Structure 1
Amino acid sequence: MRNVFVLSMLALALSGCKSLVEKGDNLFQAGMYSQSAEYYERALKEDPHDIEAQKGLMQARNKILDKGLIDVRMLRLGGNPTGAALRLESLLRNQIEWQIEPFGPIANTQNEEIDYTTQWLKARAAQLGQSRFPDQFRFFEHRYAFLISNAQLHSQFSTYRAALQNKAHAQCSRMSTKVNDERFFLRQFTEKYCMAWDLPQSLESISHDSSRYSSIELTPRFKVNLHRTSRQANSLHTSSTKLKKIFRESLWYSPVGEKTFKLNFDASLEHIRNAKLVSRQTHFTLTEEKQSKVDPSNTLDIEVKKAYSYPVTEFTEQFSIDAKYAGTVAQQQIEFRVDDSQTHYTQSHQADFPQLNIKPVKATFLDVDAKLDKQLDILQLDFKTQLARIWTETHCNGLIGTQYGEYILRCGKIAPDNEFVNSWFKKQFGLNYQEMAALYAL
């Protein structure tokens, strides 16, 4: 019996895999090669030895490569060498990951586009090597790392290193003179920047930060009334721990902060379940044969009314949660409340009387754990959102651009697409915030 079950499960798995392959085949025929590859990959996760899925995936990936090379050529011919180079960089990386070696016309097209791109890379490197922004060249090498390595251009590009190093040294020195205890993000950025250009600086350590918090003082006030001991009794305490964790992971926390963040967490949780045993009765009629009083030799069909009684346990559940946090950060009050309540009725019994369509019933109780977790998750998410909002209001509105970029860096942590953040970075480094973040993990 066990072998039959195993074989049945295997058949179901294989039939499901076949279905994925068929979907992949249909998408492939429709020219949707990326989507078809996804279905072949899913099929191979279920059965890594599926020959049809392996074959389909290889064909789809070759088509993706072929189509991608056409995109590269069209971008180049359309006067967009940057887009062509980025697309080619992505394709070559995929080839390595997929272990595909192009052949025939695809290989010829790829080699031709690599030659064009190599010439563009050399010209672009020469141009950026003369730029007053050394980080533009650094990002260029980061962005096209695979193409540059594939074309073995590192030694040629190293000729620009000395001039770029001098410009970076000047930038490093300018930033170092602006560093102080109040500019903690500028200090971190300066350390990373100078180190990346092999120009380590001896900067004074940050001893205090008056704008951030080094600890959180959470005051819980809970009222709990539960019908029995369960994990619900610990859920509020777990939520308290999560609120602390959220704060410590926020930008407001720093080991050198001078403040203590105070947060009140009030919650009232109730889950009562009352049970009552009642007797149910169902009336029904039976036809019975009885001896005739007039003629004892005959029987008569007589309808007899009867009652079937059985015990039923009726349950009444009452659930309610009312939770609220409140605190002050950067002189702004934050608070949020969640609440939910429900009265639920259910019953159970063991009666079994098929003739009356009476079957045993099992009580269906409220999923209090899920309801409680949902509300507390909402509360925690709002707390995280409020902390980010106040950081943005404090460091992105009104004070942007002051303190030699300190507030630019603070704002960029929350709002990397902020117009003023990117204009400042463009002016200072020739790159936007996201590009600089890719280089220096801002």
Structure 2
Amino acid sequence: MRNVLVLSMLILTLSGCKSLVEKGHNLFQAGMYTQSAEYYEQALQEDPHDIEAQKGLLQARNKILDKGLIDVRMLRLGGNPTGAAIKLESLLRNQIAWQIEPFGPIANTQTEEIDYATLWLKQRAAQLGQSKFPDQFRYFEHRYAFLISNAQLHSLFTTYRAALQNKAHAQCTRMSTKTTNERFYLRQFTEKYCMAWDLPQELAVITQDPTRYSSIKLTPRFRVNLHRTSRQANSLKTASSELKQIFRESLWYNPVGKNTFKLKFDANLEHTRKAKLVNRHTHFTLVEEKQSKANPSDTLDVEVKKAFRYPVTEFTEQFSVNAKYEGIIAQQQIEFSIDDSQTHYTQSHQADFPQLNIKPIKATFLDVDSKLDKQLTTLQQDFKSQLERVWIDTHCNGLIGAQYGEYILRCGKIAPDNQFVNSWFQKQFGLNYQEMATLYAL
């Protein structure tokens, strides 16, 4: 709690600083090197030639590396060589990205930790080289690519290639025998897998997928009543195009899809504005001097009632939009509707009488464009969510165990953390879905 309070106070202090560089300096002095680097980077985005920001960023990044290497050492000494290797790998990647060459004590510490990591890498490689899953070794090389390069272990690791290749060949052959005309995702995965292991396969050409759609037929029906020609008149047409695009970007669309997805889009849009000119008046009292009737040579102060009249234009706006889409995909009905309406009153006039607190007024009309865009965005977001929901219902909840991984791969596209997806990948390849996706762009 105390740390949070200190951080909050520091942020409040920084908010009053004059420049991004000064904020970076203050954070650096507080030992918050990552945050200070972010401010220096922002300063350099505004002025790439800012010398103070350049120096500050270099110092902050060196401190990040120094602190990171301390973390590496603590992880190693704490009996967590895997965590130490992961942290060291990230530091090496940052050095390349930042174009920093460590020097002095930092360089010495890094060299020492790379030596310790090298021993662990060799041991881990020997273990994975004996595994029945060749992809574990492949992912190991990917995950620690910079560390392996620094440790110059590539030539040593080539000794495992022949055995790994044989295991991958068996896996590739097994997958190839399972790729039928209806297993499109499995076929794509098999092609990538075998090619990555230099084992290209002659697989049957995909012709048609009866579970997906190669096109969308959208039937719009709009009823529009607007008080004037404006951007609103085209908003519904734009929404129609965006619904089509959302579908084409979904997993349901594929050029080899057999079907055409039919979607109805009905919308009523009304925005009227009526103006009425009215005369208003405000009574007030003035004190005027008038001649006394009793004594014409004298004057008297007399209160005189008067009225200030001025024209006012009153506006009444009526806005309403209701829209609905509906269609059937994978034998499931999807639909959603929006409904919004509002009556708005405003007025304007040019009268100016400060003594009566009457000043000119400009009418404030509804921001119909924003209201309409907000509603249509909600409809589009729901359309995307519904497409994803039906995909999950179809490929994750019902048939996930069918067709030797076809539905596992389909489900993984949208639910990579699904328990069944990951258990299948662990059983087949010794890695989870995300790790395999990293290797083979699933």
**Length-normalised TM-score, structure 2:** 0.93
- Residue 95 of structure 1 corresponds to 95
Aligned mates of 1:90, 1:357 — CA distance in 2? 67
Q: Structure 1 residues 249, 321: CA separation in 2 closer, same or farther (over 3 Å shift)?
A: same
Aligned mates of 2:246, 2:103 — CA distance in 1? 53
Between 44-53 and 120-129, the greater mean CA deviation after superposition: 44-53
Amino acid at match of 2:333: Q
Aligned mates of 1:383, 1:432 — CA distance in 2? 30
Aligned mates of 2:373, 2:398 — CA distance in 1? 39
Q: How does 1:32-431 map to 2 (within 5 A)?
A: 32-431=32-431
Contact 1:17–1:46 (CA under 8 A) maintained in structure 2: no
Q: Specify the SS of the correspondent of 1:365.
A: coil
Deviation at 1:97, TM superposition (A): 2.2
Aligned mates of 1:17, 1:369 — CA distance in 2? 38
Per-residue CA shift, 1:50-97, capped at 9, x if unaligned? Answer: 444333323322221111111101111122111111111111121222
Aligned mates of 1:260, 1:45 — CA distance in 2? 48
- Residue 3 of structure 1 corresponds to none
Aligned mates of 2:19, 2:293 — CA distance in 1? 74
Deviation at 1:327, TM superposition (A): 0.9
Deviation at 1:103, TM superposition (A): 2.4
Q: Specify the SS of the correspondent of 2:295.
A: coil
Deviation at 1:370, TM superposition (A): 0.6
Amino acid at match of 1:385: S
Amino acid at match of 1:375: Q
Between 352-361 and 286-295, the greater mean CA deviation after superposition: 286-295
Deviation at 1:17, TM superposition (A): 7.5
Aligned mates of 1:257, 1:187 — CA distance in 2? 15
Contact 2:282–2:307 (CA under 8 A) maintained in structure 1: yes
Contact 2:136–2:431 (CA under 8 A) maintained in structure 1: yes
Deviation at 1:263, TM superposition (A): 1.1
Q: Specify the SS of the correspondent of 1:201.
A: coil
Deviation at 1:42, TM superposition (A): 2.1
Aligned mates of 2:230, 2:137 — CA distance in 1? 61
Between 375-384 and 398-407, the greater mean CA deviation after superposition: 398-407
Q: Specify the SS of the correspondent of 2:326.
A: strand
- Residue 25 of structure 1 corresponds to 25
Contact 2:133–2:429 (CA under 8 A) maintained in structure 1: yes
Q: Identity over aligned residues, as a percent?
A: 83
Q: Specify the SS of the correspondent of 1:361.
A: coil
Q: Specify the SS of the correspondent of 2:270.
A: strand
Deviation at 1:44, TM superposition (A): 2.9
Contact 1:216–1:244 (CA under 8 A) maintained in structure 2: yes
Q: Specify the SS of the correspondent of 2:204.
A: coil
Contact 2:265–2:325 (CA under 8 A) maintained in structure 1: yes
Between 56-65 and 385-394, the greater mean CA deviation after superposition: 56-65
Contact 2:17–2:23 (CA under 8 A) maintained in structure 1: no
Contact 1:24–1:56 (CA under 8 A) maintained in structure 2: yes
Aligned mates of 1:35, 1:332 — CA distance in 2? 49
Contact 1:18–1:43 (CA under 8 A) maintained in structure 2: no
Aligned mates of 1:161, 1:120 — CA distance in 2? 19
Between 60-69 and 405-414, the greater mean CA deviation after superposition: 60-69
- Structure 1 portions without partners, runs of 5+: 1-14
**Length-normalised TM-score, structure 1:** 0.93
Deviation at 1:16, TM superposition (A): 8.3
RMSD value, Cα: 1.7
